[in-house]
Structure 1
Amino acid sequence: MNQKTQRIALIGMFCAIAYALMVVGRVPVVLFLKYDPKDVMIVIGGFLLGPFASFIISVVVSFIEMISASDTGIIGFIMNVLSSCSFACTAAFIYKKKHTKSGAMLGLFAGCGVMVMVMLLWNYLVTPIYMGYPRAAVAELLLPAFLPFNLLKGGLNTAIALLFYKPVVTALRKAKLALPSTAEQTGDSKGVIVFSLFLFATCAVSVLVMKGII
């Protein structure tokens, strides 16, 4: 299998897994806002194949979601693409420039920050159009609802991506679907795992609190 065919196959695989995660992993959090872990696969695809691959996967998965599982139409499609790309493309771009564990963490946290800012702006601009809310009412929800939701979303995506990137890429390389890397640092990853589990637990408990379960 040549590299171009391998790349196309990997993008298709990441699209399929991301869509499946969206379908089975969607969790209502607050108001009409729902979390799903598709961005985890999108950012892992970007780490392996580059930021443009994250963009392609984001567009493909969001389009399939629009025609199969969403009731928000073209506006929902645009919002999904913006959310996924602001997180995953930012993270993949930084990781491409700094191909180390610290680069991955820096990229993921930068992606969280960019996604939060982008989605606060676009929720303010777009939510009144497709939800029928007055813009003033949406502005009042930015800090108590949209901000914590996007922080939790970014935190969960970061934690899960840090936990699963290494196993996913290792499995792909063993299956001869990805080329071995000579640039990435190996070393002990226990600290990353502990941090990821702590971040995941913190975000998961926060979601339960926001839903009024605990």
Structure 2
Amino acid sequence: MMEAKKTLFSTRDLVIIGLFSALAYVLMLLESPGYLGFLRIEFSDVPAILGGLGISPAAGVFIELIKNIIKAMSTKTVGAGELANFVVGSAYVLPLSIIYRKWKGKHRLLVGYVAGTVAMCISGMIVNYFITLPLYSSMFGGVDALVGYVGSMTPGFLPEINSLWKIIIIGITPFNVVKGIMMAIVSYYVFKLVKKPLQF
């Protein structure tokens, strides 16, 4: 008698992933006014976090991927924003969901959120410096033009931003820390609400 092949996701999982991906895309459209001209707070990572915690780390990454593919179809930013969103979102979801599902410690969610925020900040530094900001610069007429634009948007309480590295250190990284904390607070309470109804 042949054993049934194991699949990555059950039919139920696929339905939830599809629904969460659609919700994530909608939430991606509901964003805050831009900080430094292009950084925006939105809660599209919350459905991916729920999928990662409730189904599997892979489910969380799939939700991040699907929402960004849909968004990239109508983007005007040559996919740069969607690429960054996918990388930093996945970097947040993966360690968080792996720690939650593999470790049985009392404070596994807290540890997961901290690890996810740190991973998001590190991956954000790398992808923004080597990929995303150079892609954005092509839209602004070069790196100097992009730096000048972001520098002109610098709030008075921050040091002047006059290089790509300063965009990352002064602008993007602190923003990602704040975003990571906000994602943790929102997803924690939403997860508590949906855990039993969705049998997570």
Place the TM-score, normalised by the shorter chain, in its bin: 0.7 to 0.9
Closer/same/farther in 2, CA of residues 30 and 60 from structure 1, 3 Å limit:
same
Bigger radius of gyration among the two: 2
User: How many angstroms does 1:116 deviate by?
Assistant: 0.3
Q: Among residues 113, 120, 126, which one is paired with 1:121 in the alignment?
A: 126
Report 1:79-158 matches (<5 A). 79-99=84-104, 102-126=107-131, 127-131=133-137, 132-134=142-144, 137-158=163-184
If each structure's helix is expressed as a fraction of its own residues, which one has the higher value? 1
Corresponding residue SS for 1:170:
coil
- What corresponds to 2:187 in structure 1? 161
Which 10-residue stretch deviates more, 163-172 or 114-123? 163-172
Paired residue type of 2:170: P
Matched positions, count: 171
Task: Note the residue ranges of structure 1 that are not aligned, 5 or more in a row.
Answer: 173-177, 180-214
The alpha-carbon deviation at position 143 of structure 1 amounts to: 2.0
Taking only the aligned residue pairs, the percentage that are identical comes to 26
What letter is aligned with 2:116?
G
d(CA) in 2 for partners of 1:42, 1:158: 12
TM-score scaled by length of structure 2? 0.78
> Given that residues 78 and 135 in structure 2 are in contact (C-alpha distance below 8 angstroms), is that contact kept between their aligned partners in structure 1?
no
Instruction: Give the conservation status (yes or no) of the 8 Å contact 2:134–2:143.
Output: yes
Residue 105 of structure 1, CA deviation: 1.5
Aligned pair partner of 1:71 in 76, 83, 96: 76
User: Contact conserved, 1:128 with 1:138, CA < 8 A, in 2?
Assistant: no
Match for residue 16 of structure 2 among 10, 20, 42: 10
Matched, 1:51 2:57: yes
Contact 1:30-1:149 at 8 Å conserved across structures? no
Q: Aligned partners of 1:101, 1:30: CA distance in 2, in Å?
A: 39
Q: In 2, Cα distance between the equivalents of 1:99 and 1:64?
A: 35
The CA distance in 1 between the partners of 2:19 and 2:185, in whole Å, is: 22
Secondary structure, counterpart of 1:33 in structure 2: coil
Deviation at 1:154, TM superposition (A): 0.8
Q: 1:100 to 1:171 in 2, by over 3 A?
A: farther
TM-score for both structures, normalised by structure 1: 0.73
Aligned partner of 2:20: which letter? Answer: F
Q: Identify if the C-alpha distance between structure 1 residues 75 and 24 changes in structure 2 by more than 3 Å, giving closer, same or farther.
A: closer
Mapped pair 1:60 → 2:70: no
Give the RMSD, CA atoms, in angstroms: 2.0
